Chains A and B, each alone.
Chain A
Amino acid sequence: MDSLDNTSWDVVVTGTGLPQSLLVLSLSRSGKQILHIDRNDYYGGDEAVLSLSEAEQWVKNHGGDASERADSTYSHATISHLDAQEGGAKKLGFARAYSLALAPHLVYARSNLLPAVVSSRTHSQLEFQAVGSWFTITAPPDGSPPRSRLTRVPSGREDVFRDDSLDLRAKRSLMKFLRFVASYDEENEQQRMEQLKSLPLSVALKQHFGMNSTTAVAPLLALALPTVSEIETTVEFAVPKIARHLRSIGIFGPGFSAVLPKWGGLAEIAQVACRACAVGGGVYVLGKGVMNATRAEDAEDAEDSKLRLELTGGEKVTAQWLVGCPPDLPHTISTPIPSQASSAEYMAKNISIVSSPLTSLFPPTAEGGVIPAGAVIWVEVAGSSSPSVRILVHSSESGECPAGQCVLYASLRGDPSILDTAVQHLLESVGEQPTPKVLWRMQYRHYTETEQPRGTTTSEGVVMLQSLSTDIVLEDDVLTDVEEAWRKIMGERAEGFMKFESREGVEEDE
């Protein structure tokens, strides 16, 4: 390949995470000369998908407090091999049989990403699967070790009808609340919303909807997926989230509200997006980052006024635009993530490979409906001051592990050791004999970005995209951010964001 040195580009994009990849997808038909680089030697950036051996390497690069890598979103990574202790039955498969997602996200059916994937003609290269059932594992109020009891969250009228654990009154109250949630943003509910919004959800449910039992509250909290403790979860936060869940049910099929992209989640979307950009003429180079970015003070012509970038390896290129997320942009432009040694906010995360398919977590979504590939578990932690653990369970149908096993993605804004306990409780509560075991586990911390003003051009020609949040739901902000960036580059009057005709000669299976 010819050297990049002294080349000139319209747009240089650094990092192949989801936001950057969506941006280059949006630019893939624009005719702009795009150079898309990534300082890692793999695609996907912070949303990357790793085989077992890639995970080992990744952990080496992100272990300890990684303070010398202040531009990393991840740190304190460790791996535990646990199958070696087992007599023999359940063992790990080949390293390449696994595609573990660093940042798995739920994509709600109503998210703005999905229509964009369709209108940009990339949907035929992606396969989406249902995230079907939600469960709670509750802790009894007296603080003793949680009795592991798995309860399915009713997510609609028919679930409530069928739920034998709810008596008639409880059914009535729950339905009343769900009806309120379904129209919470309409005019006739404005007053009630104003009245309730700062109350903790659990208090509002008790005082205003007649839901007295604590077992009725947990499923609703689970649907909102807060990262803070129960008492800190307000109506204002929770109700729109529950509404999003309810409004998403049935859109792509009965009985489920969200999907996950097969073969490794968001990284798969990023890959497809990059491929589209490459087809459109974009140039891809891995193992290169932007070390420095400057601009001539006294530029005389257009060429001179371009950004001057220095890449890893010393190549000097010029570009009209430089786009990236804060960890990938040179320090002269973005402020680094605050030192991880301090008590910066992080999400403790943990990936566990489990020796059983956990079939009881994946019942069909509806009569004659699809078998889901994902499930969501909400694990209450003893002592109500701690937030709950959220576990995304992906079956082998997601393509992330071989048949007969599952991948569990646990996250908590709190003490990492709680994650292992939560996973253990889940495995004990599915009621399988023998209890399923964790074969392999990777633990790490995911740091929250400090508040960067969105899409700001902090200096001329530089567009900063927000990194994905550390949370597990893909928010609409991501695509809105990309659209703003697209508009900066294409001009304010540009039209047709993510709307493409199918390429000639490309087979489209409707």
Chain B
Amino acid sequence: MQSHGIPRVAATTLDKSEQARNKERKQIIQYQALERDVVDRVKAKDYSDTTFQLTSQLLTQNPEYYTIWNYRRLVLQHVSARELAADEEPSEQDAAAANKAGLPPAQHEVLLLIKEDLQFLIPLLKQYPKCYWIWNHRSWLLGTATKHLPAHSAVTLWQAELGLVSKMLGLDSRNFHGWGYRREVVLAIERLSSNGDGEKGSGSGNMVESEYAYTTKMIQSNLSNFSAWHYRSQLIPRLLSSRSADTNARQEFLNAEFELITRALYTDPYDQSLWFYHQYLMATLNPANAQALPVLEPCGRVEHARYLEREIGSVREMLEGAEDCKYIYQALLEYSGRYLEVEAEGGEVALGEMRGWLRELRGIDPLREGRWRDLERKMGL
């Protein structure tokens, strides 16, 4: 299993003794019987609690069997619908508990169902943190909560999710399932907390500052975090508008981000995720780039040229002591190319220097010779 370069001690050694093989054979027979049972029941539209328990058993053994997750949801849907449509009086106990939770009894039952299932998923998630279907089922459960329950109940569940996903990312900060899920959770909390006032920028539900701070924390504990840097880049436009940042504030912000990434690049210029972020920052200055929203205001040719000049100078200095780092040469060539388009007469770079960089690049990475030849042609070197 992928472990992002962190070595794990082997859990068990392969034991092919006769005893072990017999045990395994029994397990296979039992599994196949269980599977048949579940499939038969669902075919017969048996959405009883027994069926539900059987899916639990099956999924604990094989959470990747996505059909069974679908079946489980069929059962849950069936039970929730029945609860919500219920005409019968709830028991005293149930009524009291529902009252305490501030919910009508039917909805409280649904909440309990959802909570139980979320609980069921936790050990599975710990063991299989990268199984799409587990994350998917969690998502579905919370979506069901949002649909059937009042905002105040649902948002509590979502906030617990934020805690869970932070813990998962603490265990493996490069698990992209975790990061994607985090965005979903944050969005849900913001929606549910904004109380329909529509204004996503303001209001108590706005989490952009705390999320930005979270990316800072994650980067500091592991620089090589593509997901954290990416998330940060996604947050920036909303962050600045939520702060109502003016021209000066925006300039200060951009300069601070460049300072941060430069510090990181000096620490480790061989880390590609850092260069991606540097490229993102540069892209925000490029009016022709529709993907990266501008940070500065205004942001025209003058600003673009100024930052290109500054960064080319800065990256050039990074070469000292890292002459074998191909990313530096790539960055220099890319930014120089852009610079010459923006400021054809600008003196920051000379063609001769660029040719030198390309030569170095070819020497360091001969396997990509084709790519460098294309680059040479494109840039007219």
Contacts from A to B (Cβ < 8 Å): 115, 118, 157-158, 160-162, 168-169, 171-173, 175-176, 210, 250-251, 254, 366-368
Contacts and interface: CB of A to CB of B under 8 A. Distances in A.
A168 B321 contact: no
Contacts of A175: 267-268
Interface of B: 6-7, 9, 167, 170, 217-218, 220-223, 262-264, 266-268, 321-322
Tell me whether chain B's interface is mostly helix, strand or loop, or mixed. Answer: helix
Contacts of B262: 168
Contacts of B221: 158, 254, 366-367
Nearest to A368: B170
A250 B223 contact: no
Given A157-B223, A367-B217, A210 B321 contact: yes
Nearest to B314: A168
Nearest to A162: B220
Contacts of A162: 220
B170 A157 contact: no
A172 B220 contact: no
Contact of B268 (A157, A250, A367): A157
A367 B170 contact: yes
14 contacts: A115-B9, A157-B267, A161-B267, A168-B266, A171-B263, A171-B266, A172-B266, A172-B321, A173-B321, A175-B267, A175-B268, A366-B221, A368-B167, A368-B170
A171 B217 contact: no
A158 B220 contact: yes
B202 to A, nearest CB: 30
A115 B8 CA distance: 12
Contacts of A251: 6-7, 9
A172 B322 CA distance: 9
Contacts of A157: 223, 267-268
A175 B267 CA distance: 6
Tell me whether chain A's interface is mostly helix, strand or loop, or mixed. Answer: helix
Contacts of B267: 157, 160-161, 171-172, 175
Contacts of A158: 220-223
A176 B321 contact: yes
Contacts of B223: 157-158, 161
Q: Which of B170, B217, B267 has the most CB of A within 10 A?
A: B267
A89 B221 CA distance: 39
Contacts of A367: 170, 217-218, 220-221
A254 B322 CA distance: 28
A176 B324 CA distance: 12
B316 to A, nearest CB: 14
A161 B220 contact: yes
A188 to B, nearest CB: 11
Contacts of B222: 158
B96 to A, nearest CB: 38
A251 B10 CA distance: 12
A161 B218 CA distance: 13
Contacts of B268: 157, 161, 175
A251 B5 CA distance: 10
Given A250-B6, A254-B221, A161 B264 contact: yes
B5 to A, nearest CB: 9
A157 B321 CA distance: 17
Contacts of A171: 263, 266-267
B266 to A, nearest CB: 4
A162 B220 CA distance: 7
A172 B7 CA distance: 26
Contacts of A169: 266
A366 B217 CA distance: 11
B113 to A, nearest CB: 31
Given A161-B220, A367-B217, A168 B6 contact: no
A210 B223 CA distance: 24
Nearest to A251: B7
Contacts of A254: 221
A157 B223 CA distance: 8
10 closest A-B pairs by CB:
A368-B170, A168-B266, A161-B267, A367-B221, A171-B267, A172-B266, A171-B266, A172-B321, A160-B267, A250-B6
